[in-house]
Structure 1
Amino acid sequence: MRLFAIRDYRYLFSAQIIALFGTGLTTVALGLLAYDLAGPSAGTVLGTALTVKMVMYVIIAPLAAAYIGRFPRRTFLILLDVVRAAVVLALPFVSEVWHIYVLIGLLQAASAAFTPTFQAVIPDVVTDESAYTRALSASQVASTMESLLSPVLAAVALAFISFNWLFLGTSAGFLLSALLILPTRIPAARPGADVRAWDKAVAGIRTFLGTPRLRGIMALNLVVAAAGSIVIVNTVNYVRDGLGGSQQDVGWMLAASGGGTLLAAVVLPRVLDRIAARAVMLTGAGVLVGGTIAAVTLVAAGLTTWAGTAIVWAVIGIGMALIITPTGAVLRASAVPSAIPGVFAAQFSLSHLAWLITYPIAGWLGTNAGFVLTWSLLAALAGAGAVGAVLLWPRHDGSRAATAPATPVRLAPRTGRSTLSKAV
């Protein structure tokens, strides 16, 4: 079955793409808004706002996954998009820092509920098992592409408009997402779906803890978050105060990181056909550790140049792609088909938990203790994650691309212990 021949999935996936890019553009605009309000303390504001975002994702997403069956799901998705559109539209008019925190809390609460609701709808719209697996992969690719292209799109837009207009465009995007969901035919949730969703979430966490390669991915999540926080949280102050740049320059520096990620993502599919995902992802961890050390060196040695910063940011982007891009294939190779949604849900929560650790460090410590100490600590966390991944993910347990043989994990029905069943 051709996945995009399914009308309702096509509409839902288009809505997801638009909403994802809206969220990415909002993150860029939010950093510039924080600088506009707080100046040198923008890192603290942005770090706090993004911490609020991660708290909402870690807490609300599992609850939404567990209990979404109690609501009309199409109506709920449309309502969440309308709420997000209204909140984003209000952001350019804030005059106090605490306004940002309240609005971001509302925005991210809606986003945290939207994602698991969307994921719960897909198996009812895409009923063919192989097509459903491809749908999960498409969602993973969409999330990856958003992180690659949003900074580039923001940089181009900021060359012509003020960052406040990014909020307006994002609000319109959320409304367009709601309009795309409106004509879809989403069946009512089956009785007891909320219980099953919760069981799947718990089972997904249990699968992560019981599978060596997934424990390795947990450690790699920390590497990505530690390096990524430097770029996402600290770029605004570093470019505006350290390099004396403009808001357009902030966008282009973020685009340097996104460009590095995009370059690696284009090359990786051919690489993964020949090299095990473990080797590629651990290489990415090494690249990110090197990138964070290079960032520390830049500020410690006073080498704050445009070219040097852009190169380091691009290296961090490349390292993130080397880890993020193969993740979906490794997740699929680590569970039987019925357990795959729970594994993806667990990765969603666990990866955001890593960002919950690193965002406050980059924002609060970066403002109060300076970039040298802050980035040194984040580099140490990245190094610890890389070492942990090497130790937790055995060399003989290398998973190649999604088409390679794998050893999915099946949860024993009574004890909950993980057992290995060879894939056919």
Structure 2
Amino acid sequence: MTELQRNFWLMMTGRSISKLGDTFHFLALSLMIYAKTGSALSVGQVMVASYLPMILLGPFLGVWIDRLDKRKLAITCELIRAGVVLSIPFLPHVYWIYTLTFVTAMVGFVSSTSQSGLVPQLFPKDQLLGYNAKIQTAMQAMAIAGPVLAGIVIGLWSYTAAFIVDSATFLYSATTLTLLSVSAKQLSKNTGAKKDRQFWKELGEGARYMVRLPRVMNATAIMFTAMITSGMFNVLLVVFSKDIIKVSDLQFGWLEAGIGVGLAAGAATLNLCKKLDLLLIVRVGILVDAIFIAVLGTTNSFYTEWLTLVMIGMFSVMAMISAATIIQTEAEQAYMGRVLGFYNTVFMAGTVGSMALAGVVETWFSVRDIFIYGGLATALATLLLSMRRLRKAESPSAATKGAEV
């Protein structure tokens, strides 16, 4: 096995097993909070605590990610996550759980961003889409199997057992990161993040640098637009399925699995799109995804809804992977953490903001109308954002330095 193949298998197994742990964590945490409080509001609050770090701290954490060795930082974060999640089921009060959920999410964000920034140091840039697609395929397969396995563990044993499995997956992830082979030359590039600069100056430099990447900015704008509709879609899907299509609890589980099937299929399909322009995949992926959301609003049966959800999952993940790959291929390592931090903050702000608005919008329009007109509006916005042909920026770092002088 070559060093390249070894790095791939280590990264793929580490991230996919860690993804399995995330599914255990999400299911066990939601069920445990509901069992302790009997309140759906409390479950919603703990979910908000999981999203807040990305929205509030994304760009700021990106500065520190750029200053440090990404592999060592990711290893440290995975070890911290292993210890923190193991303590959650033993906490005496639900507010402590909220606090540690926030900490876990923050550390997990740093780990995930560091690993995304590490990918360009492990694989050739012209092959990043293929490697990202294979890694994401494995991760999405775990996202399909994870909830089923977590339910079995919780049913046979307890919530605590699920958190123990969760902790073990992070330890495994830390081990695979330790075994990665990153050359000394690459590591030196990764650690040369101008530690003598002031924090706010580095943050501003990262923002100016990102603005000088027109394709990254366009992909970010398209993904933000898509998330405004997708956030409401995620909240209202259960209402649409249970109250309008009239599916059973078992059928709703199959609908959720259908989204997972689409995510895995989309990630696998990207292996056939290596020669296509990444920004084109983002634009077409979100356009088709939005159209299928509109189609979902017209469905009347469980089977057509399932097929539509598969297509939604498929095209949305193709766009998401391609958007991340654009950043990995076009942003320089010295700015990678900050660019990913800004991108994730914008992405999650659209998602959480639309989730918060879903209940308000539902009082004005029917769920069918929200899906149909929201999907069509997103498709139109994507078309408008895709009108201009954009080429890769030439040496944005040089442009940044010139502006400073």
Instruction: Give the TM-score taking structure 2 as reference length.
Output: 0.73
Structure 1, residues 345-396: CA drift from partner, whole Å, max 9, x if none?
514531342222322432x444576587596678777666554443344454
The CA distance in 2 between the partners of 1:329 and 1:17, in whole Å, is 18
2:169 matched to which residue of 1?
A: 173
For 1:344 and 1:121, locate their aligned partners in 2 and report how far apart those are by CA, in whole Å: 10
Equivalent residue number for residue 15 of structure 1? 14
Query: CA offset at residue 17 of structure 1?
Result: 3.7
Q: Distance in 2 between matches of 1:191 and 1:149?
A: 31
The change in CA–CA distance for 1:327 and 1:415 in structure 2 (over 3 A counts) is closer
**2:395 match: secondary structure:** strand
- 2:202 maps to 1:217: no
Quickly say closer, same or farther: Cα 1:60–1:155, change in 2 above 3 A.
same
Name the CA distance, whole Å, in 1 between partners of 2:363 and 2:116.
38
User: Would you tell me which structure has more helix in proportion to its own residues?
Assistant: 2
Deviations 1:275-304 (A, max 9, x none): 655554333222332343345567xxxx5x
The answer to whether the aligner puts 1:51 opposite 2:46 as a matched pair is no
SS in 1 for 2:194: helix
> How many Å separate the matches in 1 of 2:23 and 2:202?
28
Structure 2, unaligned runs of 5 or more = none
- Which residues in structure 2 correspond to 1:256-271 (within 5 Å)? 256-271=258-273
Percentage of pairs with the same residue = 16
Question: Which string of whole-angstrom CA distances, capped at 9 and with x for unpartnered residues, describes residues 54-78 of structure 1?
Answer: 2366155313314436xx964x544
Contact 2:279 2:323 survives alignment (8 Å): no
CA distance in 2: counterparts of 1:239 and 1:38, whole angstroms: 23
Q: How does 1:345-360 map to 2 (within 5 A)?
A: 346-360=339-353
Q: Distance in 1 between matches of 2:267 and 2:119?
A: 25
Counterpart for residue 104 of structure 1: 101
Distance in 2, Cα, partners of 1:176 & 1:182: 10
Counterpart AA for 1:210: R
Contact 2:67 2:193 in 1 (8 A): yes
Amino acid at match of 2:125: T
Q: Does 1:361 align with 2:354?
A: yes
Q: Indicate the residue corresponding to 1:152 in structure 2.
A: 144
For 2:128 and 2:279, the matched residues in 1 are separated by 21
Q: 1:5 to 1:316 in 2, by over 3 A?
A: closer
CA contact (8 A) 2:293 2:371 kept: yes
The Cα of 1:217 is off from its aligned counterpart by 0.4
Give the structure 2 partner of residue 283 of structure 1: 284
CA–CA distance in structure 1, aligned partners of residues 189 and 271 of structure 2: 37
Question: Does the 8 Å CA contact 1:92/1:167 hold for their aligned counterparts?
Answer: yes
**Cα distance in 2 between the residues matched to 1:309 and 1:239:** 8
* Partner Cα separation in structure 2 for residue 385 and residue 208 of structure 1: 24
Q: Contact 1:223–1:289 (CA<8 Å) still a contact in 2?
A: no
Q: Cα deviation per residue 1:38-69 (whole Å; 9 max; x = unaligned)?
A: 55546733652343242366155313314436
- CA shift in 2, pair 1:332/1:158, >3 Å: closer
1:229-276, CA deviations, whole angstroms, 9 ceiling, x for partnerless residues?
Answer: 346555667778886755x76654322112112223333443564x65
* TM-superposition CA deviations, 1:135-172 (whole Å, max 9, x none): 86577436633663243112432563437354332221
How many Å apart are 1:219 and its aligned residue?
1.9
Report what 1:413 is aligned to: 398
Distance, in Å, in 2 between the alignment partners of 1:371 and 1:47 is: 23
In 1, Cα distance between the equivalents of 2:325 and 2:371?
28
TM-score (ref. length: structure 1): 0.70
Question: What is the alpha-carbon root mean square deviation over aligned residues?
Answer: 4.6
Decide which of 315, 322, 343 is 1:319's aligned counterpart: 315
The alignment covers a number of residue pairs equal to: 390
